[in-house]
Amino acid sequence: MKRALITGITGQDGAYLAAQLLEEGYEVHGVARRLSTANAWRLAEVRDRVVLHGGDLHDTGSIVRLVQAVAPDEVYNLAAQSFVPTSWEQPVLTGEATGLGVTRVLEAIRLVNPAIRFYQASSSEMFGKVVETPQRESTPFYPRSPYGVAKTYGHWITVNYRESFGIFAVSGILFNHESPKRGREFVTRKVCRAAAECAAGRRRALPMGNLDAARDWGFAGDYVRAMRGMLRAAEPQDYVIATGEVHTVRELCEVAFERVGLDYREFVRTDPVLVRPAEVDRLEGDASKARAELGWSPEVGFRELVHMMVDADVARLRGDLLDDPEG
């Protein structure tokens, strides 16, 4: 039985990846931070089948000891301070976790067993102020936030450990991907949750930032399939994972509110406080390398994704689905 270790298992992608690996017959271990309140709600469906270990990307020793104790065949580094606005408020912490944290995991692999296969969660935020459209593996990076800068470091250190030490280390350059397990601070979940609350009469207004920002949004379940494909491949290589379909935040509001029979224009207000100091205006990915070499393609489209998320929040508010803790 193959064994996988996932950092960030309590996050959105961690939960989908754990489920996918269990389905494939893996023994799944995860790194969870010690927090004052429990936050494993995303793992509800798989909690009794995964082994959680205490650890933190800030603490090198904890990561080395875990890689030693678990002796995984594969390590997925999904842990990060992943919310872009927080990266301006806590740039040093973001650099530590999202950037240097990658080196700590790679060092643990190098010391304990360089034959372990490693996946790094790189991001389309590295393209930032884009220099070419659509963005592909060869597109130069121009990050626009401390988060994007930290991810760019994590990306290149992964390439460097592959080239320096021959480690099977790959970076998936994933564009925005969402699901009902998305944190409430990210725009898709924020809007879908608000649409459900407005429909239930629990909210009357929705303050928003830049409605003209445009993203290539996909479904998290599809994107963790791509991570698996990259670690199964014959050669370690980096891949862009995206749908190629772009929508604005305004369109997102329109589709989400429409789903509950409302007109978003009656609820959405723009609030300058929510506008970022430097914006990533538009991202559009070209995943043709992943399609050709990994046979990967997304199964869930934009409207289906938004409907899935709104429906989940409607069910949560009705008490038909366990609600998540407010972030």
Active site residues: 123, 125, 147
* Residue 147 Cβ vs ligand NAP, minimum distance, rounded to whole Å: 7
Minimal distance, residue 323 CB to ligand NAP, in Å: 17
Residue 143 partner contact from ligand NAP, ligand F7E, none using kind-dependent CB cut-offs of 5 to 8 Å: none
Of 40 and 260, the one with the shorter C-beta distance to ligand NAP is: 40
User: Could you tell which of ligand NAP, ligand F7E, none binds residue 81, using a CB distance below 5 to 8 A set by kind?
Assistant: ligand NAP
Nearest to 215 by CA among 187, 179, 193: 187
Among residue numbers 237 through 276, which ones bind ligand F7E (CB under 6 A)? 249, 274, 276
Using N-to-C axis directions, what is the helix angle for 146-165 and 101-112, rounded to 10°?
20
How far, in Å, CA of 262 to CA of 267, rounded? 9
Does the protein bind ligand NAP through residue 108 (CB under 6 A)?
Answer: no
Tokens of 66: 């875990």
Of 115 and 275, nearer to ligand F7E (C-beta) is 275
Q: From the list 19, 70, 81, 324, which residue makes contact with ligand NAP (rule: CB under 6 A)?
A: 81
Q: How far apart are CA 241 and CA 207, in angstroms?
A: 30
Amino acid identity for residue 93 in this structure: L
Three-class DSSP category at 248: strand
Read off the tokens for 40: 């494993």
Residues sharing a CB contact under 8 Å with residue 304, sequence separation 6 or more, in sequence order: 219
What is the per-residue DSSP string for 11-35?
A: SHHHHHHHHHHHHTT-EEEEEE---
Q: Which of 17, 46, 108, 187 binds ligand F7E (CB under 6 A)?
A: 187
Among ligand NAP, ligand F7E, none, what binds residue 249 when CB lies within 5 to 8 Å by partner kind? ligand F7E
Judged by CB under 6 A, which stretch of 74-82, 201-209, 286-294, 296-304 contacts ligand NAP?
74-82
Q: Minimum distance between the CB of residue 320 and ligand F7E, rounded to whole angstroms?
A: 26
Ranges of beta strands (E only) in the chain are 3-7, 27-32, 50-54, 74-77, 117-123, 169-174, 177-178, 206-208, 214-215, 218-219, 239-241, 247-248, 268-270
Question: Which residues bind to ligand F7E, rule: CB under 6 A?
Answer: 82, 84, 123-125, 175-176, 185-187, 190, 208-210, 213, 215, 249, 274, 276, 279-280
Question: Which residues bind to ligand NAP, rule: CB under 6 A?
Answer: 7-8, 10-14, 31, 33, 35, 39, 56-58, 78-82, 97, 121, 123, 174, 176-177, 183
